[in-house]
A = this chain, B = another copy of it.
Amino acid sequence: MTLRLAGARVVTMDAKRRVVEGDVVVEDGRIQAVGRSGGQAVKGETTIDCSDLVIIPGLIQAHIHLCQTLFRGFADDLPLEDWLARRIWPLEAAHTEESVYWSAMLGAAELLLGGTTAILDMETVRHTAAAFAALEAIGLRATAGKCLMDAPSAPPGLKETTERALQEAADLCAKWHGAAQGRLRWCFAPRFVPSCTGPLLRAVSDLAARAGATIHTHAAETPLELQMVKEQTGQDEISYLDSVGISGPRAALAHCVWVDEEGIHRLARQQTNVVHCPSSNLKLGSGIAPVPEMLAAGCRVALGADGAPCNNRLDAFEEMRLAALIQKPRLGSDALPAAQVLELATLGGAKALGLEAEIGSIEPGKKADLVVLDLSGPHVVPEEADLISRIVYAARASDVRHVIVDGRIVVRDGKLKTAKVEEIRREANKWAGTLRERAGL
């Protein structure tokens, strides 16, 4: 099985950040060659003409809640407490196996069509296997996990005992971690410190280490959260997470908006992954994460759209542009330049998923997660401008022409090949209505 993307400009994101002209050749799901052009077509080879097109590494979003995609537009312009307690908790509690499946299909369709090839996902408490079934079918690369909540203050409709939560997580990990030839992976996903007991968090750290799995949680999103954690544990949130073993390259902490200098240095020293979600942090009024300061300190930073109800897009182009823009009033218009932002959405995301040896750049030996862009629309002209600037500041999800995940063509000519969008739309609309009724909204 050989696939040749022929005659493109290739933004490799290799160590030298080379942009080369030529072909990308894929064999058995891995990149075999980059930049050599033409030559004899191998027998049985599939060739896609990519002349006048641009190939970038598949974009990676390291904080997504696919289970919330059906709630898009159900929770706008609300104070944060109402957003969570009156909308998100009841809607998550109302989920069925089928609604989780179609929520994942809807989100994954949007992600793939918009050039996101890999995600770190937090599902709800129940029916996580249904999300994996959807991800298996639609062809997105995903590290996903059930949400864990066992603290007295966790919402009653979603709270589990520590044992039950851990048992189901371990069972699902055994089943899904490494499924679909390694394209699907498990993560342990305690919701956030205020919803989780210390014993649960410590057990998660052990289980994750044993399974070689990522830990995916939220941290330091709001000042209220910091205060709750301080009252609950007597510690600063980042140090508390560290004390229960949730730190280091295996851990991905979404948000980290409210982290002080000491926290930044701890995150950097331990190489904990920070997942920056600019749209979500704005829309929920959380604030602006000190990303340039984190990068200067040596932190690992990735990007993510979070869930559809706090964005309301799942669009990597949007998050890249916004990540750059929101730092500039605070630090000057030269803060977080385009090239650095593209790193966060590729190499940074790969690290957050623990897959930096496999994805995040276009180099021989890596998995073939590739996005082919058509940058000929009036909104990305002139072509003579810096290519990375065009991708980060001007391009948009609708410029995605082809998408390859694990060597498989999942989007061709802007059309999803692995599922029927019409069916997804119909089922998503039906289940969104059902969930709203079940949640009493």
Contacts and interface: CB of A to CB of B under 8 A. Distances in A.
A381 B79 contact: no
Nearest to A283: B325
A53 to B, nearest CB: 14
A106 to B, nearest CB: 6
A398 interface: yes
A28 to B, nearest CB: 30
A250 to B, nearest CB: 30
Contacts of A377: 110, 113
Interface string A412-429: 000000000100110011
Contacts of A285: 328-329, 331-333, 335
A240 interface: no
A287 interface: yes
A429 B394 contact: no
A83 B333 contact: yes
A109 B433 CA distance: 38
Contact of A433 (B311, B337, B384): B384
Query: Interface extent on A, as a size class?
Result: 35 or more
B312 A393 contact: yes
A328 B428 CA distance: 29
Nearest to A426: B381
A385 B333 contact: no
Contacts of A333: 77-80, 83, 283-285
A386 interface: yes
Contacts of A396: 313, 315, 396-398
Contacts of A171: none
A288 B329 contact: yes
A20 interface: no
A410 to B, nearest CB: 13
A96 interface: no
Contact of A325 (B282, B328, B436): B282
B77 A337 contact: yes
A74 interface: yes
B338 A77 contact: yes
Given A284-B328, A379-B313, A429-B381, A390 B73 contact: yes
A76 B324 CA distance: 11
A386 B282 contact: no
Interface in A380-400: 380-386, 389-390, 393-394, 396-398
Interface string A149-169: 000000000000000000000
A376 interface: yes
A279 B318 CA distance: 12
A379 B314 contact: yes
Contacts of A88: none
Given A72-B381, A433-B384, A312 B80 contact: no
A307 to B, nearest CB: 13
Contact of A379 (B284, B315, B337): B315
- Find the residue from A74, A312, A390, A429 having the highest chain B CB count within 10 A: A312
Contacts of A229: none
A128 interface: no
Interface of A: 70, 72-74, 76-80, 83, 106, 109-110, 113-114, 279, 281-288, 308, 311-315, 322, 324-326, 328-329, 331-335, 337-338, 376-386, 389-390, 393-394, 396-398, 421, 424-425, 428-429, 432-433, 436
20 contacts: A72-B380, A72-B381, A72-B385, A72-B390, A76-B338, A76-B393, A78-B334, A110-B377, A285-B328, A286-B329, A308-B394, A312-B393, A313-B396, A378-B428, A381-B424, A381-B428, A382-B432, A384-B429, A396-B397, A396-B398
- Sorted nearest first, the 10 A-B pairs with minimum C-beta distance are A73-B385, A382-B432, A398-B398, A77-B337, A285-B333, A282-B325, A285-B328, A312-B393, A110-B378, A109-B378
Given A76-B389, A77-B335, A285-B333, 10 more contacts: A72-B385, A77-B334, A283-B393, A288-B329, A311-B393, A313-B396, A378-B425, A381-B432, A382-B432, A384-B433
